């Protein structure tokens, strides 16, 4: 498992934004992963996607790494942000915009505003 932890650590630290998910950003394979990838894709965020279904060690390893039991998991600048419910709440409240702004992560502010308008 230490090999998985090392690979996860390297991925999280070498990419500004990483989404551990079921499937890929172009083809999510669960509703929760699809929701988070959809938000990031719509907002134009440049992020690395890691398909946990392709590697059982990573699938379990990411849960141990974050001490968080579910997937998807979003990381920004090496820090665990949360799963689907947290990312949804942060998107709707504007907290995700703030997090991206504070960390120099590019995104489409108009798209973020449209998500909030559509869910108001």
8 A C-beta contact, residue 47 and residue 81: no
Alpha carbon distance 64, 20 (integer Å): 13
Going by pLDDT thresholds of 50, 70 and 90, the confidence category of residue 2 is: confident
Confidence check: pLDDT of 40 > 70: yes
Q: pTM above the 0.85 mark?
A: yes
8 A C-beta contact, residue 75 and residue 17: yes
The shares of helix, strand and coil residues in the chain, as percent rounded to the nearest 5, are 55, 15, 30
Taken in order of first residue, the domains within the chain and their CATH numbers are 2-101 (3.40.30.10)
pLDDT tens column, 45-91: 999 999 999 999 999 999 999 999 999 999 999 999 999 999 999 99
């Amino acid at each position: 498992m230490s090999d998985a932890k090392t690979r996860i650590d390297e991925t999280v630290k070498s990419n500004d934004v990483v989404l551990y998910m079921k499937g890929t950003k172009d083809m999510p394979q669960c509703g929760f992963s699809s929701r988070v990838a959809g938000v990031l894709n719509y907002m134009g965020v440049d992020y690395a996607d890691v398909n946990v279904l392709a590697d059982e060690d990573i699938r379990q390893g990411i849960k141990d790494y974050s001490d968080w039991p579910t997937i998807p998991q979003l990381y920004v600048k090496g820090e665990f942000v949360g799963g689907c419910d947290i990312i949804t709440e942060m998107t709707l409240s504007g907290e995700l915009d703030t997090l991206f702004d504070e960390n120099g992560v590019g995104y489409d502010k108009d798209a973020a505003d449209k998500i909030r308008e559509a869910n108001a």
